[in-house]
Amino acid sequence: MSKEKVTVQDIADALGFSRTTVSKVLNGAPNMPEKTINKVLGKAKEMNYKQFSYLHHMENHAAPKKGGTFALLANFLPERFHIASSIIASLEQEISGYGYSLTIHMLTPDDIRSLRLPQNFKPDQIDAILGIEIFDEGYSRMLCELEKPVLFFDCFYNSRKDPLNVNILLMESRNATFRMLDSVLSSTDIQHMGFIGDYNHCISFHERYEGYRNALFSHNLPYEECYCITQDDSLFQKPDFLECQLRQMKQFPEMFCCANDLLAWRTISALNSMKLEVPKDILICGFDDTLILNSLNSTLTTVTTPSIEMGVMAARILLDRVENPKLPPITVYLNSRVQLRQSTIPPKKS
């Protein structure tokens, strides 16, 4: 194709699909038909769409076709999460080109507590293992002892322990959070900002917290614990936890930085129940640009993560390690993109 820049509309026209359908697939919308996903991703790669263009110069380094099985372990239903569903779709398409299939295994809380593999997981039939949101240290270390190439999408955070002998793939969080907050702080007169999320939950949450602290420091603003809700992540799953914590604050900061979009929307909901509006009464930002939570015309300031590219990169890393088992484990970051939207634009003073 001679056109320099391929657009979503170009892909839609080539397939006879609507632009909305193609946008949903490329952004990892849940509950999309598998045939539709495969057609859109295949056409996007064929047309050298921006999310796939970087693949062409990597083709000469691809692992030879061999065939086998990759196993993905997760402790939640992937279709509920934009990032996971998009990662899985691109991962499965990429490894299928080399003769590999993907099996998905759901972990129960009891599996994790007991360090037990899923019943249908057969290590001797698996060539490589992937883990999504497996943040339990003991279970993570157990998977690394199976003598298979392992890759985690994000990982538990523990700076005092030796790193795992594992490949880790992450979106760039620290600098992206700093850039997002630096832009907001540079254009407003914010003097107080809080953080919401368990910054010890995983590497990415901790790096977003570091980006938040760096932004405060850069703008000579104090870190104020009274404006932060950083308890254990499990508490955030309780329906009334955030609202109870917010009601205990004697006053609110001008802005909350949330560790991800899910926490941001839960915070907005809690604030609404307290008759407070965003951005009229308080500003807020998230991270991930989660399509299931944000409409295509979202108002939430956030950071878009490269979920499709993460699936492709994960496949390439593990294909290399299946072919060359002695390669050392690596930690790879993919760049993230800041999305400044209305939730961090204070209303004009009358």
What pLDDT digit, counting tens, does each position of 62-115 carry? 444 567 999 999 886 654 445 677 888 899 999 998 899 999 999 999 999 999
Both 56 and 71 in a single domain? Answer: no
Of 170 and 48, more confident:
170
Give the containing element (helix H, strand E) for 46: helix 34-46
Q: What is the pLDDT of residue 297?
A: 54
Both 135 and 121 in a single domain? Answer: yes
Q: What is the pLDDT of residue 161?
A: 82
For the chain, give the percent of residues with pLDDT over 70: 88
The two beta strands, 337-339 and 302-304, are: antiparallel
Give the separation between CA 319 and CA 127, rounded to whole angstroms. 9
For the chain, give the percent of residues with pLDDT over 90: 63
Single out the residue of 120, 140, 115, 141 nearest to residue 71, CA to CA.
120
Does the residue 350 lie in any domain? no
Strand-by-strand arrangement of the 283-285 sheet: 193-196, 255-258, 283-285
Give the separation between CA 147 and CA 187, rounded to whole angstroms. 51
Both 242 and 327 in a single domain? Answer: no
Which of 32, 61, 90 is the last residue in one of the domains? 61
Contact 262, 294 (CB under 8 A): no
Q: What is the CATH number of the domain that holds 11?
A: 1.10.260.40
Q: What is the pLDDT of residue 53?
A: 52
Both 235 and 251 in a single domain? Answer: yes
Count how many domains the chain has.
Answer: 3
Centre a 10 Å sphere on the Cβ of residue 240 and count the other Cβ atoms it contains. Answer: 10
Single out the residue of 67, 68, 66, 73 nearest to residue 121, CA to CA.
73
For the cut 90, the answer to whether the pLDDT of residue 240 exceeds it is yes
Q: What is the CATH number of the domain that holds 90?
A: 3.40.50.2300
Where does the pLDDT of residue 1 fall: very low under 50, low under 70, confident under 90, or very high at 90 and above? very low
For the cut 70, the answer to whether the pLDDT of residue 57 exceeds it is no
Cα 169 from chain centre: 10
Q: What is the pLDDT of residue 62?
A: 46
Where does the pLDDT of residue 242 fall: very low under 50, low under 70, confident under 90, or very high at 90 and above? very high
Does the residue 292 lie in any domain? yes
Both 224 and 263 in a single domain? Answer: yes
Which of 42, 61, 80 is the last residue in one of the domains? 61
Give the separation between CA 181 and CA 193, rounded to whole angstroms. 10
For the cut 60, the answer to whether the pLDDT of residue 134 exceeds it is yes
Q: Which two tokens stand for residue 68?
A: 């086998």
Which of 12, 31, 61 is the last residue in one of the domains? 61
Contact 99, 66 (CB under 8 A): yes
Both 103 and 252 in a single domain? Answer: no
Q: What is the pLDDT of residue 338?
A: 95
Of 201 and 62, more confident:
201
pLDDT tens-digit readout, 264-317 = 999 999 999 999 999 999 999 999 987 555 554 589 999 998 888 999 999 999
Q: What is the pLDDT of residue 208?
A: 98
Give the separation between CA 197 and CA 231, rounded to whole angstroms. 7
Q: What is the pLDDT of residue 347?
A: 85
Both 67 and 165 in a single domain? Answer: yes
Does the residue 105 lie in any domain? yes
Both 156 and 90 in a single domain? Answer: yes
Structural domain range at position 112: 63-172+307-336
0.85 cut: is pTM over it?
no
Q: What is the pLDDT of residue 54?
A: 44
Centre a 10 Å sphere on the Cβ of residue 205 and count the other Cβ atoms it contains. Answer: 24
Q: What is the pLDDT of residue 55?
A: 47
For the cut 90, the answer to whether the pLDDT of residue 2 exceeds it is no
Q: Is 12 helix (H, G, I), strand (E, B) or coil?
A: helix
Both 191 and 245 in a single domain? Answer: yes
For the cut 60, the answer to whether the pLDDT of residue 56 exceeds it is no
Q: Is 106 helix (H, G, I), strand (E, B) or coil?
A: strand
For the cut 90, the answer to whether the pLDDT of residue 138 exceeds it is yes
Q: What is the pLDDT of residue 86?
A: 80
Q: What is the pLDDT of residue 306?
A: 87
Tell me the CA distances in angstroms from 298 to 104, 175, 182, 290, one per residue in order: 31, 22, 21, 10
